[in-house]
Amino acid sequence: MTLKRRDFLYLLTASVGALTAGADQASANNVSQASQIAKATKTAQTPGLFTLPPLPYEYKALEPHIDARTMQFHHDKHHAAYVKNLNDAVSKYPQLKNMSAENMLRDLSKVPEDIRTAVRNNGGGHVNHGMFWEIMSPKGGGEPTGGLATAIKQSFGSADAFKAKFNDAGTKRFGSGWVWLVRTKAGKLQIATTPNQDSPLMDGNYPIMGNDVWEHAYYLKYQNLRADYLKAWWNVVNWTEVNKRYEKAI
């Protein structure tokens, strides 16, 4: 069976139309998807909206001292939850959206009472963990450096004595919390602990370094042996970053 020229032209026109429509739809879908991505990116970068910082290394980078599975859950689930809950809390009060989490923690009286606990817990969790990822490194370990090394020797006698006192305080912190090296309002170095996600900023102290002693930070690898985790943690401490925090504190 042969097609007449008129029928052939009709079929050809219909086919081209279908292809053009398909291309137009695909293009529209791509534009829509790009628009959604752009909108999400713009939202994520909105000033005052808290975001989850990426890890500065791979999940497995701190092994064998901190395992990849713990790092993934700790960062992607726990820290992410603090960020979400903090955003949910402050979204009720536009006047807070341009206020840093650190400044909220420094003076919680400026935070509306109905969200104060949420900001204390989740703002603290966000700020504490933001520091935590930065002061660890796959090339960490060794001894304190720079001005911090001198200050630790003056305050605690030696780096080894400091580590021993730090570990002891972390081991004795009952329940969930953090162990810290802080610079006090009086300008002195001090080892301190805080419950839950409380930040030293709440007491007017500057956190130079801190270790997370919540069970989610170590339990998959160390189970109930918190002391073993505290001891192993020194192998990943990024002293260069810690020293920067010390210089910022003074």
Residue 182 belongs to domain with CATH number: 3.55.40.20
Any domain includes 1: no
Does residue 116 sit within a domain? yes
At 49 the pLDDT is: 82
Query: Is pLDDT of 8 > 90?
Result: no
201 and 237, same domain (yes or no): yes
What range does the domain containing 244 cover?
Answer: 146-249
Q: In this structure, what are the phi and psi dihedrals at residue 212, rounded to the nearest 5 degrees?
A: -80, 120
- CA torsion sign for 153, 156, 161, 163 is negative
Give yes or no for residue 45 having a pLDDT over 90: no
Q: Which residue has the higher pLDDT, 16 or 113?
A: 113
Euclidean distance between the first and the last CA atom of the chain, given in angstroms as a whole number: 92
- 82 found inside a domain: yes
Would residue 187 count as lying in a domain?
Answer: yes
Same domain for 75 and 124, yes or no, is: yes
> How high is the mean pLDDT of the chain?
86
Q: For residue 213, is pLDDT > 60?
A: yes
Per-residue CA distances from 13 to 18, 25, 38, 179, 220 (Å): 9, 18, 37, 75, 65
pTM value is 0.80
Q: Which of 19, 38, 39 is nearest to 27 (CA)?
A: 19
Looking at 81, 113, 134, which one is the last position of a domain? 134
